[in-house]
Amino acid sequence: MTDPHPDPLVDLLQTLDLEELGSAQVSVQPRSLAAAPGVELPDTFAEDVTLFRGSSQKQPHGRVFGGQVLAQGVVASGRTVAGVGDVRRRLHSLHAYFMRPGDDTQPITFSVERMRDGRSFSTRRVHAVQHGHPILSMSTSWQAPDGGLDHQDTAPQVPDPESVPSLAELFAGLDDPRAQHISRRAIELRHVEGNLFAGPPAEQVAEQHVWMRAVGRLPDDPLVHDAVLAYASDYSLLEPVLRRHGLPWTTRGLKMASLDHAMWFHRPARADEWVLYSQESPSAQGGRGLGIGRMFSADGTLVATVAQEGMVRVPE
Protein backbone atom coordinates (compact mmCIF):
# COMPACT_ATOMS: atom_id res chain seq x y z
CA MET A 1 0.00 0.00 0.00
CA THR A 2 1.29 3.45 -0.87
CA ASP A 3 2.09 5.62 2.13
CA PRO A 4 -0.33 8.60 1.98
CA HIS A 5 2.18 10.73 3.89
CA PRO A 6 5.71 9.73 2.82
CA ASP A 7 8.76 11.46 4.24
CA PRO A 8 8.83 14.69 2.18
CA LEU A 9 12.57 14.71 1.58
CA VAL A 10 12.70 11.03 0.62
CA ASP A 11 9.74 11.59 -1.69
CA LEU A 12 11.48 14.56 -3.36
CA LEU A 13 14.72 12.65 -3.91
CA GLN A 14 12.82 9.68 -5.33
CA THR A 15 10.95 12.04 -7.66
CA LEU A 16 14.27 13.42 -8.92
CA ASP A 17 15.78 9.94 -9.38
CA LEU A 18 14.69 9.50 -12.99
CA GLU A 19 14.68 6.20 -14.85
CA GLU A 20 16.60 6.23 -18.13
CA LEU A 21 14.51 4.55 -20.81
CA GLY A 22 17.04 4.58 -23.66
CA SER A 23 18.42 6.65 -26.51
CA ALA A 24 17.59 7.15 -30.16
CA GLN A 25 18.69 9.26 -33.12
CA VAL A 26 16.09 11.52 -34.72
CA SER A 27 16.69 12.74 -38.28
CA VAL A 28 15.00 15.81 -39.74
CA GLN A 29 14.90 16.28 -43.50
CA PRO A 30 12.58 17.74 -46.18
CA ARG A 31 9.48 15.77 -47.10
CA SER A 32 10.69 15.57 -50.67
CA LEU A 33 14.33 15.45 -51.77
CA ALA A 34 13.37 16.82 -55.17
CA ALA A 35 13.61 20.58 -55.61
CA ALA A 36 12.76 22.93 -58.41
CA PRO A 37 15.68 24.27 -60.45
CA GLY A 38 17.50 27.02 -58.59
CA VAL A 39 15.85 26.17 -55.23
CA GLU A 40 18.25 25.09 -52.49
CA LEU A 41 17.05 22.33 -50.19
CA PRO A 42 17.21 23.03 -46.43
CA ASP A 43 19.91 21.26 -44.46
CA THR A 44 19.14 17.90 -42.90
CA PHE A 45 20.32 17.10 -39.39
CA ALA A 46 20.23 14.35 -36.80
CA GLU A 47 19.87 14.71 -33.03
CA ASP A 48 20.64 12.25 -30.26
CA VAL A 49 17.61 11.95 -27.97
CA THR A 50 17.63 10.30 -24.54
CA LEU A 51 14.39 9.44 -22.77
CA PHE A 52 13.82 9.46 -19.01
CA ARG A 53 10.76 8.78 -16.88
CA GLY A 54 9.88 10.32 -13.54
CA SER A 55 7.04 10.04 -11.06
CA SER A 56 4.65 12.83 -10.10
CA GLN A 57 4.06 14.15 -6.60
CA LYS A 58 0.43 14.30 -5.45
CA GLN A 59 -1.01 17.79 -5.08
CA PRO A 60 -4.29 18.97 -3.49
CA HIS A 61 -5.49 20.41 -6.82
CA GLY A 62 -4.52 17.35 -8.90
CA ARG A 63 -2.05 19.23 -11.13
CA VAL A 64 1.70 18.64 -11.18
CA PHE A 65 3.72 21.27 -9.31
CA GLY A 66 5.65 23.29 -11.89
CA GLY A 67 8.82 23.30 -9.80
CA GLN A 68 8.80 19.51 -9.87
CA VAL A 69 8.87 19.42 -13.68
CA LEU A 70 11.61 22.07 -13.77
CA ALA A 71 13.75 20.09 -11.33
CA GLN A 72 13.22 16.80 -13.17
CA GLY A 73 14.14 18.52 -16.45
CA VAL A 74 17.37 19.76 -14.84
CA VAL A 75 18.24 16.23 -13.71
CA ALA A 76 17.38 14.70 -17.10
CA SER A 77 19.49 17.17 -19.06
CA GLY A 78 22.29 17.01 -16.51
CA ARG A 79 22.52 13.24 -16.88
CA THR A 80 23.30 13.70 -20.58
CA VAL A 81 26.02 16.29 -19.83
CA ALA A 82 27.87 14.05 -17.39
CA GLY A 83 31.10 12.87 -18.96
CA VAL A 84 31.34 15.72 -21.48
CA GLY A 85 34.79 17.32 -21.40
CA ASP A 86 37.61 16.86 -18.91
CA VAL A 87 35.79 18.44 -15.94
CA ARG A 88 32.19 18.38 -14.79
CA ARG A 89 30.03 21.10 -16.34
CA ARG A 90 27.62 22.99 -14.10
CA LEU A 91 24.18 24.29 -14.98
CA HIS A 92 24.33 28.04 -15.62
CA SER A 93 20.87 28.75 -17.03
CA LEU A 94 17.48 27.34 -17.89
CA HIS A 95 14.60 28.81 -19.89
CA ALA A 96 11.24 27.05 -19.75
CA TYR A 97 7.66 27.38 -20.92
CA PHE A 98 4.77 25.68 -19.12
CA MET A 99 2.44 24.56 -21.90
CA ARG A 100 -0.22 22.40 -20.25
CA PRO A 101 -1.17 21.43 -16.70
CA GLY A 102 0.36 18.12 -15.67
CA ASP A 103 -1.58 15.13 -14.33
CA ASP A 104 -0.23 14.20 -10.89
CA THR A 105 -1.60 10.63 -11.15
CA GLN A 106 0.67 9.77 -14.07
CA PRO A 107 4.46 9.62 -14.64
CA ILE A 108 6.19 12.10 -16.95
CA THR A 109 8.48 11.24 -19.86
CA PHE A 110 11.42 13.57 -20.51
CA SER A 111 12.99 13.77 -23.96
CA VAL A 112 16.47 15.33 -23.94
CA GLU A 113 18.12 16.48 -27.17
CA ARG A 114 21.87 17.05 -27.26
CA MET A 115 21.96 20.33 -29.14
CA ARG A 116 25.68 21.07 -28.82
CA ASP A 117 28.78 20.22 -26.81
CA GLY A 118 31.45 22.90 -27.27
CA ARG A 119 34.78 23.41 -25.56
CA SER A 120 33.19 25.34 -22.68
CA PHE A 121 29.40 25.07 -23.02
CA SER A 122 26.82 22.34 -23.56
CA THR A 123 23.24 23.03 -24.64
CA ARG A 124 20.26 20.72 -24.17
CA ARG A 125 16.58 20.89 -25.11
CA VAL A 126 14.07 19.10 -22.89
CA HIS A 127 10.42 18.25 -23.43
CA ALA A 128 8.27 16.88 -20.61
CA VAL A 129 5.43 14.77 -22.06
CA GLN A 130 2.22 13.32 -20.67
CA HIS A 131 -0.66 11.69 -22.56
CA GLY A 132 1.19 12.26 -25.83
CA HIS A 133 1.47 16.05 -25.40
CA PRO A 134 4.25 18.31 -24.07
CA ILE A 135 3.51 19.95 -20.73
CA LEU A 136 6.84 21.79 -20.54
CA SER A 137 9.54 22.81 -23.02
CA MET A 138 12.90 23.84 -21.62
CA SER A 139 16.42 24.71 -22.78
CA THR A 140 19.39 24.34 -20.45
CA SER A 141 22.99 25.46 -20.78
CA TRP A 142 25.99 24.03 -18.93
CA GLN A 143 29.49 25.44 -18.51
CA ALA A 144 32.89 24.10 -17.61
CA PRO A 145 34.57 26.00 -14.71
CA ASP A 146 36.10 29.28 -15.88
CA GLY A 147 37.58 32.49 -14.48
CA GLY A 148 36.84 36.11 -15.32
CA LEU A 149 35.34 39.30 -13.97
CA ASP A 150 33.46 38.91 -10.69
CA HIS A 151 30.99 41.20 -8.92
CA GLN A 152 27.55 40.91 -7.32
CA ASP A 153 24.79 42.91 -5.68
CA THR A 154 24.73 43.12 -1.91
CA ALA A 155 22.24 40.94 -0.08
CA PRO A 156 19.35 42.80 1.58
CA GLN A 157 19.38 43.18 5.36
CA VAL A 158 16.54 41.12 6.83
CA PRO A 159 15.90 39.22 10.07
CA ASP A 160 17.74 35.91 10.32
CA PRO A 161 15.73 32.77 9.52
CA GLU A 162 15.65 31.48 13.08
CA SER A 163 13.60 34.53 14.12
CA VAL A 164 10.94 33.96 11.43
CA PRO A 165 8.27 31.23 11.82
CA SER A 166 8.03 28.62 9.09
CA LEU A 167 4.88 27.64 7.22
CA ALA A 168 5.21 24.17 8.74
CA GLU A 169 5.17 25.64 12.24
CA LEU A 170 2.22 27.91 11.49
CA PHE A 171 0.04 25.24 9.88
CA ALA A 172 1.06 22.08 11.78
CA GLY A 173 -1.98 20.49 13.40
CA LEU A 174 -4.61 22.45 11.47
CA ASP A 175 -7.47 20.25 10.30
CA ASP A 176 -7.36 21.44 6.69
CA PRO A 177 -6.00 19.39 3.77
CA ARG A 178 -4.26 22.39 2.18
CA ALA A 179 -2.63 23.43 5.44
CA GLN A 180 -1.49 19.87 6.08
CA HIS A 181 0.00 19.66 2.57
CA ILE A 182 1.92 22.91 3.07
CA SER A 183 3.25 21.77 6.45
CA ARG A 184 4.63 18.54 4.91
CA ARG A 185 6.58 20.08 2.03
CA ALA A 186 10.21 19.09 1.42
CA ILE A 187 11.14 22.78 1.27
CA GLU A 188 10.93 24.86 4.44
CA LEU A 189 9.70 28.41 3.74
CA ARG A 190 9.87 31.35 6.16
CA HIS A 191 8.24 34.60 4.98
CA VAL A 192 9.95 37.61 6.53
CA GLU A 193 6.96 39.92 5.85
CA GLY A 194 4.38 37.26 6.74
CA ASN A 195 2.78 34.69 4.46
CA LEU A 196 -0.28 35.17 2.24
CA PHE A 197 -2.03 31.93 3.18
CA ALA A 198 -3.56 33.04 6.49
CA GLY A 199 -4.83 36.41 5.26
CA PRO A 200 -4.03 39.57 3.28
CA PRO A 201 -0.65 41.30 3.66
CA ALA A 202 -0.10 44.07 6.20
CA GLU A 203 1.29 46.33 3.46
CA GLN A 204 0.53 46.55 -0.26
CA VAL A 205 4.08 46.43 -1.58
CA ALA A 206 5.46 44.57 -4.59
CA GLU A 207 8.35 42.86 -2.81
CA GLN A 208 8.99 40.22 -0.17
CA HIS A 209 11.77 38.07 1.29
CA VAL A 210 11.57 34.34 1.93
CA TRP A 211 14.13 32.16 3.69
CA MET A 212 14.13 28.62 2.34
CA ARG A 213 16.00 25.32 2.52
CA ALA A 214 15.38 21.59 2.17
CA VAL A 215 14.02 20.03 5.36
CA GLY A 216 16.97 17.63 5.62
CA ARG A 217 20.44 16.81 4.36
CA LEU A 218 20.78 16.31 0.60
CA PRO A 219 23.37 14.16 -1.21
CA ASP A 220 26.69 15.87 -2.00
CA ASP A 221 25.84 16.09 -5.69
CA PRO A 222 25.83 19.57 -7.30
CA LEU A 223 23.18 18.44 -9.80
CA VAL A 224 20.80 17.55 -6.98
CA HIS A 225 21.31 20.92 -5.27
CA ASP A 226 20.75 22.86 -8.50
CA ALA A 227 17.62 20.80 -9.21
CA VAL A 228 16.25 21.43 -5.70
CA LEU A 229 16.91 25.17 -6.03
CA ALA A 230 14.96 25.12 -9.31
CA TYR A 231 12.20 23.16 -7.56
CA ALA A 232 11.99 25.67 -4.69
CA SER A 233 12.18 28.70 -7.00
CA ASP A 234 8.62 28.10 -8.23
CA TYR A 235 6.89 28.18 -4.84
CA SER A 236 6.57 31.87 -4.07
CA LEU A 237 7.89 34.02 -6.93
CA LEU A 238 4.45 35.32 -7.99
CA GLU A 239 3.43 36.25 -4.45
CA PRO A 240 4.72 39.86 -4.78
CA VAL A 241 2.02 40.33 -7.43
CA LEU A 242 -0.64 39.40 -4.87
CA ARG A 243 1.05 41.34 -2.10
CA ARG A 244 1.10 44.53 -4.19
CA HIS A 245 -2.71 44.35 -4.54
CA GLY A 246 -3.46 43.24 -0.98
CA LEU A 247 -4.64 39.76 -2.00
CA PRO A 248 -4.20 36.51 -0.04
CA TRP A 249 -3.99 33.08 -1.66
CA THR A 250 -7.52 32.42 -0.35
CA THR A 251 -9.06 35.17 -2.54
CA ARG A 252 -12.29 33.71 -3.91
CA GLY A 253 -12.03 32.94 -7.64
CA LEU A 254 -8.26 33.65 -7.81
CA LYS A 255 -6.59 31.72 -10.64
CA MET A 256 -2.81 31.59 -10.99
CA ALA A 257 -0.52 29.47 -13.14
CA SER A 258 3.11 29.72 -14.20
CA LEU A 259 3.60 30.56 -17.87
CA ASP A 260 7.37 30.66 -18.22
CA HIS A 261 10.44 30.45 -16.02
CA ALA A 262 14.06 31.49 -16.42
CA MET A 263 16.89 30.92 -13.98
CA TRP A 264 20.59 31.81 -13.98
CA PHE A 265 22.91 29.97 -11.61
CA HIS A 266 25.76 32.31 -10.69
CA ARG A 267 27.64 30.50 -7.92
CA PRO A 268 27.42 27.06 -6.26
CA ALA A 269 25.19 26.68 -3.22
CA ARG A 270 23.69 23.97 -1.07
CA ALA A 271 19.91 23.77 -1.18
CA ASP A 272 19.86 22.20 2.30
CA GLU A 273 21.33 25.36 3.85
CA TRP A 274 19.50 28.66 4.28
CA VAL A 275 18.95 30.65 1.09
CA LEU A 276 17.33 34.10 1.10
CA TYR A 277 14.93 34.51 -1.83
CA SER A 278 14.51 38.25 -2.42
CA GLN A 279 11.51 38.84 -4.70
CA GLU A 280 9.75 41.73 -6.43
CA SER A 281 7.11 42.28 -9.10
CA PRO A 282 7.88 45.17 -11.48
CA SER A 283 4.67 44.76 -13.50
CA ALA A 284 1.24 43.16 -13.70
CA GLN A 285 -1.11 43.65 -16.65
CA GLY A 286 -3.32 41.79 -19.11
CA GLY A 287 -4.03 38.91 -16.72
CA ARG A 288 -0.28 38.32 -16.25
CA GLY A 289 2.15 39.17 -13.47
CA LEU A 290 5.96 39.24 -13.53
CA GLY A 291 8.14 38.10 -10.65
CA ILE A 292 11.90 38.67 -10.34
CA GLY A 293 13.90 36.91 -7.64
CA ARG A 294 17.47 36.78 -6.40
CA MET A 295 18.81 34.00 -4.21
CA PHE A 296 21.53 34.69 -1.64
CA SER A 297 23.27 32.18 0.60
CA ALA A 298 23.34 32.97 4.31
CA ASP A 299 26.79 34.60 3.99
CA GLY A 300 25.45 37.05 1.35
CA THR A 301 26.74 35.31 -1.77
CA LEU A 302 24.48 35.84 -4.80
CA VAL A 303 23.60 32.31 -5.88
CA ALA A 304 20.99 32.70 -8.61
CA THR A 305 18.60 35.07 -10.37
CA VAL A 306 15.09 33.98 -11.36
CA ALA A 307 12.35 35.46 -13.55
CA GLN A 308 8.84 34.15 -14.01
CA GLU A 309 5.65 35.41 -15.57
CA GLY A 310 2.37 33.84 -14.60
CA MET A 311 -1.31 34.05 -15.33
CA VAL A 312 -3.02 36.02 -12.56
CA ARG A 313 -6.79 36.32 -12.85
CA VAL A 314 -8.97 37.87 -10.17
CA PRO A 315 -12.78 38.17 -10.53
CA GLU A 316 -14.12 41.69 -10.89
* Residues acting as catalytic residues: 234, 258, 308
Q: Quote the CA–CA distance of 167 and 232 in Å, as a whole number.
A: 14
Q: Quote the CA–CA distance of 184 and 71 in Å, as a whole number.
A: 19
Strand partners, 94: 140, 263
Q: Quote the CA–CA distance of 45 and 25 in Å, as a whole number.
A: 10
Q: Where are the beta strands (DSSP E) in the chain?
A: 19-28, 45-54, 90-98, 108-117, 121-130, 133-143, 187-191, 207-214, 255-265, 275-285, 288-297, 302-313
Contact 94, 73 (CB under 8 A): yes
Q: Quote the CA–CA distance of 66 and 12 in Å, as a whole number.
A: 14
Q: DSSP character for 298?
A: T
DSSP code per residue over 206-249: SEEEEEEEESSPPPS-HHHHHHHHHHHHTSSTTHHHHHHTT--T
Q: Quote the CA–CA distance of 231 and 249 in Å, as a whole number.
A: 20
